[in-house]
Amino acid sequence: MVSRVIPVDNFDLVIFGGTGDLARRKILPGLYRRFVAGQIPDETRIIGAARSEHDDDDYRHFVQDAVCEFVASKKHDQEQINAFLKLFFYVKTDALGEEGWDKIASMMKPDVIRVFYFSVGPRLFSPIAERLHRFEIAQDDSRIVVEKPFGRDLETARALNQELASHFDEHQIFRIDHYLGKETVQNLMAVRFGNILFEPLWNSQYVDHIQITVAETVGVGGRGGYYDKSGAIRDMVQNHLMQLLCLIAMEPPSQFEHDAVRDEKLKVIRALDPVERDEIVRGQYGAGDDSSSYLEDSENPESTTESFIAMKVQVSNWRWKGTPIYLRTGKRLRARASEIAVVFKDPPHSIFGQQDGRRGNVLVIRLQPDEGMNLRVTIKEPGPGGMRLIEVPLDMSFAEALGEDGADFPDAYERLIMDVVRGNQTLFMRGDEVEAAWAWTDPIIEAWQERGDKPITYDTGSSGPDDALALLHRDGRRWREIK
């Protein structure tokens, strides 16, 4: 299967924080893969901007090292790498001062799209935005890309939106959430709205409940200082899991167009009920045989920040009223897995008897690893001896279903960067969407802070605190096994 590559026009890309970890691991390797795919013209100019002392050759060595480390070896073609490196330049830049800005301005080509990637901390967003305009680097069709965290509560998110809006229009601001760039997440929309099979069943009449799980085996590691100020709810629930929830629960947009899609996502967030105290479980991983505890990793022995959270969420609208959505995310769990499971109700009457006939269908969308979809259906077990029912999967792994080319689909970052160049905001968060998510999240955080709630310690390599199991057990349900 040969994928269709859509090239883009020439563009200038400035990566602020161009020597940082995100640039090294994601942005630069993603750009190389798109260059190899023929999507980035040879005339494109990519400028790394940071505080460190480098020249163009130093930066090209940095880019080459990043490509060699984070791009599959089968794509290591030295001729292509050399051609790719010719696109790169470096400017030492002071985000809070005056150094470098005149040079960046002089390097911009006329009549091409200008993209500015803010691969820096949020405190630098506003100063960089101000200087892009003061030095007349940004134009009316320029775009800026900003990374999370986009605020740490409603007040800071609103202030950040206002600061960026004083320099850029909303159509120029791309708030990136890499989860929305994943192929499987986009296929969720294709499955829902491109097939008549599922949409008539996609409601509270037929869906018993939905589970959204993002599990990690790693701890907070070197991010302990940052993570301890955020926790699982700010780091994962307010953005990544919220976006997945919106795509699962949203109404069909009138067309696949950025504001039409984001309008429907916003309606879901605004329809979320407040979460009660007994519908939330927070946890902290303890020490393992060969691993440190969260308290050790965060270097804060008194920390009450959660590394695990599970909650029961209700969407009060016509489609979903009465169907719970369970969210779960955590670190140092049994396995690395991200998935959405849509659990359908049992048939209203079993003609095969209670024991053999009560088997519900489950649609599982696997985001990572082994991206794909799995639909569990009930069939007769082969052989004589009566009607014995078993569950089997109708399984579609992208790697198997789409062949070698299908297994090599773009990384989330490279897809999203190309969308920025094209001006397509469908997979990016709008300002009012971010604020609505914080407006729902803030009362949850404030409530447990006022009560002084402490997270429950759970074993490294487990599925989280036992209380998270009870969250579903009391509803007569159970979590899907993390594996």
Instruction: Give the strand pairing for 207-215 and 173-175.
Output: unpaired
**From the candidates 61, 133, 240, 473, which is the catalytic residue?**
240
What are the residue ranges of helices labelled H in 37-142?
Answer: 56-70, 78-85, 101-107, 125-134
Distance CA 336, CA 461 (A): 10
Structure tokens at 357: 């006939």
Q: Is 178 a catalytic residue?
A: no
* Residue 442 CB contacts under 8 Å (≥ 6 apart), including other chains: 153, 154
Nearest-CA neighbor of 371 among 399, 343, 393, 392?
A: 399
Is the distance from CB of 392 to CB of 361 less than 8 angstroms? no
Respond yes or no on whether the N-terminal peptide bond of residue 149 is cis (omega within 30° of 0).
Answer: yes
- Sheet strands side by side (includes 45-50): 88-92, 45-50, 11-16, 113-118, 143-146, 173-175
In the DSSP assignment, the letter for residue 201 is G
∠ at Cα 450 (444, 452), nearest 5°?
100
> Looking at the annotation, which residues are catalytic?
240
